Amino acid sequence: MIAHFDIDAFYANVEIRDNPDLRGKPVAVAGSSRRAVVLTASYEARPFGVKSAVPLWRALEACPDLVVVKPNMQKYREVSHQIFAIFERRGHPVQGLSMDEAFVDFGDCTLDAGRELAQTIRGEIFEECRLTVSAGVASGMMVAKILSDSCKPDGLESLAPGREAEFLAPLPVGRLWGVGPKTQTRLQERGITTIGDVAALSDERVRAIFGSWGMELRDLARGIDRRNVEPERETKSISTEETFEYDVCDEKQLRELLREQALELAQKLEKEGLSACTIGIKIKRADFQIIVRQTNLAEPTMDAQQIFVSAVHCLQRAELGRSPVRLLGTRVASLVAGEPKQQTLFAGSLQ
């Protein structure tokens, strides 16, 4: 049995825990810069559309009473250490996805035993950290995560082994791992809207639509999840990539995607309180040749613009000419805890 744990509205609830005046109010944790986005919002703020990654100004527009708290990464990291110590207490393999989210592999045990263990861990976290956690228990990682997402906040959900395919079938195809919003749109155009639709595809169609990873994806859709919980918590790098529907030659279009990816990575870095010293890109050309370029920075950054500029620099160094590109990705590595921060002489003007 595998359990997925996800602390409810982590940063916001840590702040509310430490400042009871905030209780019951719409609270958002966000930086104070011009481009700040909401890192976490309390459940009271969510009906207003205030959630992670929403620009702060828009959140304030939607919810004028929103209480905005500055993030205290050091505190969140300490609490995260405390919580992970609870996950690891019984010697189970633990795979962290971020500061507030992890898989725990309970090994061979019955569903009931798994539920009980998950309940105990939730109790310990509430007892020791005063935070609520939602958990999903299932035979595989993907289903466990879907379950914990669906019972938030403060819930516990489980699924008996053997019922995975049936459970997954009606869910939208976007819930499948590896299917992002763009792929989802593409699939919908072909009439594939639910996970069940993927599960029902023939060998030929699945290969034609998804290529080499199609079989794996269909297995997942059928509830066959072979991945193991890999106990490594420290984030070594963060990356994002996208396969184009049609191969792209236009450098402007490639840059546009790099800009989006830089923004996405910057948000993830900010959320984790990390900065990157290495920025790299990965290109898969139409002939399937893979090109990797990376660059090192003198000072770690979590700034989207700087990630973008470095990624574009890597793109130029790849000397693609006009050769068509099938896949483009950005990666940040050599991660360090965000602070202390080197101050700059020419604030912002050098970007």
Catalytic residues: 101
Q: Which of 55-63, 142-150, 282-290, 296-304 is the region at the interface with other proteins (rule: CB under 8 A)? A: 296-304
CB of 11 to other proteins, least distance (A): 21
Q: In the structure encoding, which two tokens stand for residue 94, read together?
A: 């633990």
What sign does the CA torsion over 208, 213, 217, 220 have?
Answer: positive
Gap between the terminal Cα atoms of the chain: 49
Hey, what are 144's tokens? Answer: 């466990």
Determine how many CB atoms are found less than 10 A away from the CB of residue 2: 26
Map the footprint of other proteins across residues 266-285, applying CB under 8 A.
277, 279
Exactly one of 286, 297, 320, 333 binds other proteins (CB under 8 A); that residue is 297
Whole-number Å distance between alpha carbons of 278 and 237: 9
Q: Are 5 and 154 in contact (CB under 8 A)?
A: no
Q: Which is nearer to other proteins, 184 or 278 (CB)?
A: 278
Which listed residue (111, 165, 309, 320) binds other proteins by CB under 8 A? Answer: 309
Q: How far is the CB of 313 from other proteins (least distance, A)?
A: 4
Nearest approach in angstroms of CB 344 to other proteins is 5
> One-letter amino acid identity for 336?
V
Q: Which stretch binds other proteins (CB under 8 A): 109-117, 191-199, 282-290, 340-348?
A: 340-348
Range 31-40 contact pairs with CB under 8 angstroms and sequence separation of 24 or more: 31/56, 31/70, 31/71, 31/270, 32/70, 35/304, 37/267, 37/270, 39/11, 39/71, 39/270, 39/271, 40/9, 40/10, 40/11, 40/12
343 binds other proteins (CB under 8 A): yes
The reply to whether 341 sits near other proteins by the rule CB under 8 A is yes
Backbone angles phi, psi at 175, to 5 degrees: -80, -15
Q: What is the Cα 203 distance to its own chain's centre?
A: 30
Residue 89 or 341 with smaller CB distance to other proteins:
341
Closest to other proteins by CB, 162 vs 298, is 298
Please list, in sequence order, all residues whose beta carbon lies within 8 angstroms of the beta carbon of residue 314, skipping any fewer than 6 positions away: 279, 280, 281, 293, 294, 295
Residue 93: CB minimum distance to other proteins, A: 24
Nearer to other proteins, 77 or 285 (CB): 77
Q: Which is nearer to other proteins, 224 or 309 (CB)?
A: 309
- Indicate whether 299 belongs to the interface with other proteins (CB under 8 A): yes
Does residue 295 belong to the site contacting other proteins (CB under 8 A)? yes
Binding-site member from 122, 300, 303, 330 for other proteins (CB under 8 A): 300
Choose between 208 and 336: whose C-beta lies nearer to other proteins.
Answer: 336
Check binding of 344 to other proteins (CB under 8 A).
Answer: yes
Q: Give the footprint of other proteins on this chain (CB under 8 A).
A: 277, 279, 295-300, 309-310, 313, 334, 336-337, 339-346, 349-350
